[in-house]
């Protein structure tokens, strides 16, 4: 219930919406509050399922006037669960999925509720694509605003590198367009700075000739040969053409459709990638990845690009429990490979993986000053994915991810990819480490476009007026995740809510550090 917003004001808000206003008593409320990550169990007071920009403006103004906590939902696929909140207002864009392609100018305009499957479906009709993610039902909005690392990255860069313009509603309810020519500083911040500056309602992307058929690689090797093969892989990507983008994921990988009973529960690792060029050429250039040693299985093939984008969808179903973290790696020395093998073996869930993403190529073609995105010059990204089904195993899986990251920091400067953050942890320290000298510029943008931190349910850049706020323009309650260490400013009134305790955990076991 919303105790400080009277029914009349809510009714006025609802009457001004073309879309639906969903309350706890509304049929379908549980579906409306559910997000992809099954660990997230939030109960918003209201969900405004927006039908267009006018609804978004109305929702932002309502939230600001009533001082409600705000969450913004695009695809709802973010692992940190930022698309929903307790007791506040969810501005839900999931019905805004329109996509318009101009094949002559090779551009696409897409509403912020669209997924990569929606966008690919339209662009591939013309043999075009823009760099997206690697799971097709991921929303375009969150992925793009956090950077966007996908199967085309080494040839065409990040999702955010391919933006021509962005349409958004700011905290004061103003509808603006940001591009290289208009509100250029805001455009800089939106390209990698996350959802800190408003509710994005649409993106305009550059498109590139891709597919419809592309050469792909998906080859599985025995886990006890990971050290050997990753060493050879490291040498391969050092000289590979920019058309090739690959990733390695290591774990048990128990897929009954792919492996025999003898192989099913053995440690494995896979090399996955595609060639963003002529398929016949790509088959030859990808071939060495399939020949390091004798593989367990090889599913490499030439296939439709849209189909390749969907290969991992079934591995990440709605409602499973996910806890992920990441680190940009300074390199991939033998000692790092040894630790990757150790942590892949140590995973408590057979569904979990330790991943190595090849970076470089076109990602480094964009000058570090041209966008807020950090990590352009890191050669690899480490992803640590705990994926499991039973809530009773939460503690073991969360601990495994954190222990792995603590160990792997010896190969990193500590910066992270904002789209693989786990939960809202680390606060200003993590953000400052990740963005470096660009962080102060992001704060200045926050001061200009969201000085009260209305949009705080994200990897937050806090305005300079308050080191952390509750999304209502003043210090307030802090949402905590299992085992999280909260960094609290000295003058911040410490009120911790939303404990979501792990089995057997006491609230008093949490650690708090005042700056």
Model pLDDT for residues 5-35, shown as the tens digit of each residue? 889 999 999 999 999 999 999 999 999 999 9
| Cβ partners under 8 Å of residue 242, min gap 6 | 154, 155, 361, 362
Report whether pLDDT(343) > 50: yes
At the top level of CATH, the class of 7-92 is alpha beta
Query: For residues 70 and 454, is the Cβ–Cβ distance under 8 A?
Result: yes
SS3 assignment, position 45: coil
Q: Is the pLDDT of residue 330 over 80?
A: yes
**447 has pLDDT over 70:** yes
Tokens coding 428: 């200003």
List where CATH 3.40.462.20 sits in the chain: 213-411
Angle at 251 between CA 249 and CA 252, to 5 degrees: 135
Tokens, residue 215: 């050469």
- Tell me the helix, strand and coil percentages in the chain, rounded to 5: 30, 25, 45
Cα distance between residue 312 and residue 134, in whole Å: 7
How much of the chain exceeds pLDDT 70, in percent?
89
For residue 124 the two structure tokens come to: 């591939």
Residue 403 to residues 343, 357, 409, 482: CA-CA distances in angstroms?
9, 20, 10, 14
Beta bridge partners of residue 325, listed in sequence order: 384
pLDDT value, residue 427: 66
Whole-model pTM: value is 0.89
Given phi > 0 = left and psi -120 to 50 = alpha, else beta, which region is 147? left
pLDDT digits over 244-259, tens only? 999 999 999 998 888 8
Please state the separation of Cα 297 from the chain's center in Å: 29
Where do you find CATH 3.30.465.10 in the chain? 99-209
Could you give the residue range(s) of every CATH 3.30.43.10 domain in the chain? 7-92
Q: 65 by DSSP, 3-state: which?
A: helix
Determine the length of the chain: 515
- Mean pLDDT (whole number) for 118-132: 97
Beta strand pairing call for 70-73 and 89-92: parallel
Q: What is the mean pLDDT of residues 418-439?
A: 81
Fold held by 99-209: 3.30.465
Per DSSP, 447 falls in state: H
Q: Which has the closest alpha carbon to 331: 362, 355, 356? A: 356
Going by pLDDT thresholds of 50, 70 and 90, the confidence category of residue 4 is confident
Q: What CA–CA distances, in Å, run from 39 to 268, 317, 393?
A: 27, 13, 11
pLDDT tens per residue, range 196-224: 999 999 999 999 999 999 999 999 999 99
Sequence-distant (≥ 6) Cβ neighbours of residue 3 within 8 angstroms: none
The domain defined by 213-411 folds into Vanillyl-alcohol Oxidase; Chain A, domain 3 (3.40.462)
Q: Which residues make beta-bridge pairs with 217?
A: 273
Residue 290, judged by CB atoms within 10 A of its CB (0-12, 13-18, 19+), counts as middle
pLDDT-derived band at 234, boundaries 50, 70, 90: very high
Confidence band, pLDDT 50/70/90 cuts, at residue 2:
low
Q: Which residue has the tokens 């970076």?
A: 359
Provide the percentage of residues in the chain whose pLDDT is more than 90. Answer: 82
Alpha helices in 353-422 (DSSP H): 394-408
Alpha carbon distances (Å) from 23 to 11, 35, 75, 433: 12, 16, 20, 39
Q: Quote the CA–CA distance of 355 and 351 in Å, as a whole number.
A: 13
Whether 177 shows a pLDDT value over 50: the answer reads yes
Read off φ and ψ for residue 129, nearest 5 degrees: -160, 160
Task: Give the C-alpha separation, 145 to 76, whole Å.
Answer: 14
Contact (CB, 8 A) for 469 and 446:
no
**Residue 503 burial (C-beta neighbours within 10 Å; 0-12, 13-18, 19+):** exposed
């Amino acid at each position: 219930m919303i105790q400080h917003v009277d029914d009349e004001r809510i009714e006025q808000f609802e009457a001004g919406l073309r879309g639906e206003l969903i309350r706890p008593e509304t049929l379908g409320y549980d579906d409306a509050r559910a997000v992809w990550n099954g660990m997230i169990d939030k109960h918003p007071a209201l969900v405004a399922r927006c039908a267009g920009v006018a609804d978004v403006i109305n929702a932002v103004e309502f939230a600001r006037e009533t001082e409600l906590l705000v969450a913004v939902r695009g695809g709802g696929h973010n692992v940190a669960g930022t698309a929903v909140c307790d007791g506040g207002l969810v501005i839900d864009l999931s019905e805004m999925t329109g996509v318009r392609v101009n094949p002559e100018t090779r551009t696409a305009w897409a509403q912020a509720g669209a997924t990569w499957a929606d966008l690919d479906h339209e662009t591939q009709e013309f043999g075009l694509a823009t760099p997206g993610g690697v799971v097709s039902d991921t929303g375009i909005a969150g992925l793009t605003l956090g950077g966007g690392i996908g199967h085309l990255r080494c040839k065409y860069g990040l999702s955010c590198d391919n933006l021509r313009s962005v349409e958004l509603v700011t905290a004061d309810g103003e509808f603006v367009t940001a591009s290289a020519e208009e509100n250029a500083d805001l455009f800089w911040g939106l390209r990698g700075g996350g959802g800190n500056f408003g509710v994005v309602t649409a993106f305009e992307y550059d498109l590139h000739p891709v597919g419809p058929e592309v050469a792909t690689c998906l080859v599985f090797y025995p886990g006890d040969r990971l050290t050997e093969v990753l060493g050879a892989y490291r040498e391969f990507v050092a000289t590979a053409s920019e058309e090739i983008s690959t990733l390695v994921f290591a774990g048990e990988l128990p897929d009954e459709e792919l492996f025999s009973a003898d192989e099913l529960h053995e440690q494995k690792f896979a090399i996955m990638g595609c060639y963003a060029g002529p398929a016949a050429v790509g088959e030859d250039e990808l071939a060495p990845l399939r020949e390091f040693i004798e593989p367990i299985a090889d599913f490499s093939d030439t296939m439709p690009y849209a189909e390749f984008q969907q290969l991992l969808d079934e591995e990440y179903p709605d409602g499973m429990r996910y806890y992920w973290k990441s680190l940009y790696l300074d390199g991939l020395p033998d000692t790092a490979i040894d630790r990757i093998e150790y942590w892949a073996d140590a995973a408590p869930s057979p569904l979990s993986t330790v991943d190595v993403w090849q970076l470089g190529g076109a990602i480094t073609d964009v000058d570090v000053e041209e966008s807020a995105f950090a990590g352009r010059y890191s050669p690899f990204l480490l992803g640590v994915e705990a994926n499991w089904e039973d809530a009773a195993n939460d503690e073991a899986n969360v601990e495994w991810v954190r222990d792995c990251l603590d160990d792997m920091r010896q190969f990193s400067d500590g910066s992270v990819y904002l789209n693989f953050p786990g939960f809202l942890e680390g606060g200003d320290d993590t953000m400052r480490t990740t963005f470096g000298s660009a962080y102060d510029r992001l704060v200045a943008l926050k001061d200009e476009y969201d000085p009260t931190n209305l949009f705080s349910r994200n990897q937050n850049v806090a305005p300079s007026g308050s080191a952390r706020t509750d999304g209502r323009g003043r210090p307030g309650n802090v949402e905590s995740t299992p085992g999280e260490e909260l960094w609290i400013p000295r003058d911040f009134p410490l009120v911790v809510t939303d404990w979501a305790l792990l089995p057997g955990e006491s609230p008093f076991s949490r650690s708090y550090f005042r700056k």
